[in-house]
């Protein structure tokens, strides 16, 4: 590798010239400034073994320290290259060239732009490691794109993959769908329009700039293209309208179609009705205000009245439950139990009709005095 400095009009040594009165036997070490050369109108360029550029930086002024093999540039602007093509355009207040020429380090108010996808990073520090295909931006990081805006402590960009790894106090906002995401670690696959987190994550959904839902989980995958979010494990989703809470070990939230599904045990709670329903799996259609639950379904009301079944359809607006398969209705006051094949009614008011089904099965009633 070689580092070339294209000089401008003139250069000057920063150290003072010797005078006749100076002792020739003075063996004191030179000061740091005395080992630096200052160049004006400079181009700093680095090439790989094949002669392809890996960075080119122009600066109004640069200091080059021969013993440290380090260049310092003021107000630099330039390009970062990969396979001979520009992957980022950069500018900063100052830049330091590391001694071996294998990495570029920038400090100051940095702006780095990817011309391929339009993403822009801003921060106070930037490292370019071309051999690792790695760009690091840190210290008051801000990333902006037509699809996503994010702030974090650090971003690691795999330039060849167009993959960004945000870490430390991540706050990301997407435009379509309108989401706000908080986590400590977030991976953004730019070309696939996907977000991943392997840490605790909170997602807020906005409609007309108002929160319509909140979700959280210990990990998540968000497909911005299909507008589907998968949260797992220990997932929770809270809706604003209707006001209710859904918890499960895994929740798939189709934001565009406004439905929620899970194949894991699910718990649904509606505070307005004081009603909790658990099941092996479930689905909710938000616009229709309807919840479908299957497998070991158990609906429990405020007074411990309960309705068990194999399947349950919950019509939220009508406050109506429709149960099918091995139905057992139980209430406490008075103590009684009905068993049948189907049931329909309002569990909150304890107005339930149990039927035996088409097979002629009779309803079994048990009254405990």
Mean pLDDT of the chain: 86
CATH number of the structural domain 145-264: 2.60.450.10
The answer to whether 300 touches 306, Cβ cutoff 8 Å, is: yes
d(CA 266, CA 271): 16
Mean pLDDT of 183-195: 96
pLDDT of the residue at 320: 95
Q: Tell me yes or no: is domain 265-369 CATH 3.20.20.70.
A: no
Quick: pLDDT tens for 70-92: 567 788 899 999 999 999 999 98
The answer to whether 161 touches 195, Cβ cutoff 8 Å, is: no
Give the residue extent of every domain in the chain. Answer: 1-12+34-97+108-118, 145-264, 265-369
* pLDDT, greater one: 15 or 113: 113
Quick: pLDDT tens for 11-43: 333 333 333 333 333 444 445 455 566 667 777
* pLDDT, greater one: 285 or 1: 285
* pLDDT, greater one: 222 or 176: 222
The answer to whether 143 touches 123, Cβ cutoff 8 Å, is: no
Annotate 307-316 with b (16+ C-beta within 10 A) or e (fewer). Answer: bbbbbbbbeb
Same fold, 1-12+34-97+108-118 and 145-264: yes
d(CA 309, CA 324): 6
pLDDT band of residue 108 (cuts 50, 70, 90) is confident
Q: Give 182: exposed, middle or buried? Use CB within 10 Å, 0-12, 13-18, 19+.
A: middle
pLDDT of the residue at 65: 66
Residue 84, phi-psi category: left (phi > 0), alpha (psi -120 to 50), beta (remainder):
left
369 has a pLDDT exceeding 70: no
pLDDT of the residue at 350: 87
* pLDDT, greater one: 310 or 103: 310
Quick: pLDDT tens for 98-107: 656 788 888 8
pLDDT band of residue 203 (cuts 50, 70, 90) is very high
Mean pLDDT of 50-71: 77
pLDDT band of residue 367 (cuts 50, 70, 90) is very low
Quick: pLDDT tens for 316-341: 999 999 999 999 999 988 888 999 99
Quick: pLDDT tens for 206-256: 998 899 999 999 999 999 999 999 999 999 999 999 899 999 999 999 999
> How far, rounded to the nearest angstrom, does the alpha carbon of residue 251 sit from its chain's CA centroid?
17
pLDDT of the residue at 99: 57
The CATH architecture that domain 1-12+34-97+108-118 belongs to is: Sandwich (2.60)
């Amino acid at each position: 590798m070689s580092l070339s400095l294209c000089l401008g009009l003139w250069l000057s040594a920063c150290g003072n010239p010797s005078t006749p009165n100076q002792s020739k036997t003075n063996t004191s070490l030179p000061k740091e400034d005395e080992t630096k050369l200052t160049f004006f109108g400079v181009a700093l360029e680095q090439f790989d073994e094949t002669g392809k550029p890996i960075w080119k930086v122009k600066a109004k002024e640069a200091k080059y320290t021969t013993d440290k093999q380090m260049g310092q540039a003021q107000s630099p602007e330039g390009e970062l290259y990969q396979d001979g093509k520009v992957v980022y355009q950069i500018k900063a207040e100052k830049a330091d060239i590391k001694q071996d020429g294998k990495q570029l380090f920038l400090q100051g108010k940095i702006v780095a732009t990817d011309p391929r996808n339009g993403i822009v990073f801003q921060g106070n520090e930037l490292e370019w490691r071309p051999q690792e295909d790695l760009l690091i931006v840190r210290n008051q990081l801000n990333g902006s794109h037509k699809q996503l805006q994010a702030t974090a402590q650090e971003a690691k960009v795999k330039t060849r993959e167009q993959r960004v790894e945000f870490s430390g106090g991540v706050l990301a906002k997407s435009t379509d769908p309108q989401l706000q995401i908080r986590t400590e670690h977030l991976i953004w696959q730019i070309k696939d329009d996907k977000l991943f987190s392997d840490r605790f994550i909170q997602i807020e959904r906005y409609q007309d700039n108002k929160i319509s839902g909140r979700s959280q989980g210990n990990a998540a995958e968000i497909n911005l293209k299909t507008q589907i979010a998968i949260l797992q494990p220990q997932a929770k989703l809270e809706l604003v309208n209707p006001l209710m809470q859904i918890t499960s070990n895994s929740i798939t939230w189709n934001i565009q179609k406004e439905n929620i599904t899970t194949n894991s045990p699910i718990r649904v709670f509606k505070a307005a009705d004081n009603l909790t329903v658990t099941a092996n799996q479930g689905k909710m259609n938000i616009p229709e205000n309807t919840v479908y639950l299957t497998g070991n379904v158990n609906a429990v009301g405020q007074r411990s009245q309960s309705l068990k079944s194999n399947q349950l359809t919950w019509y939220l607006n009508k406050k109506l439950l429709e149960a099918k398969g091995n139905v057992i209705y139980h209430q406490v006051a008075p103590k009684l139990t009905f068993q049948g094949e189907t049931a329909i009614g309002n569990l909150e008011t304890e107005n339930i009709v149990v039927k035996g089904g088409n097979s002629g099965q009779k309803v079994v009633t048990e009254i405990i005095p």
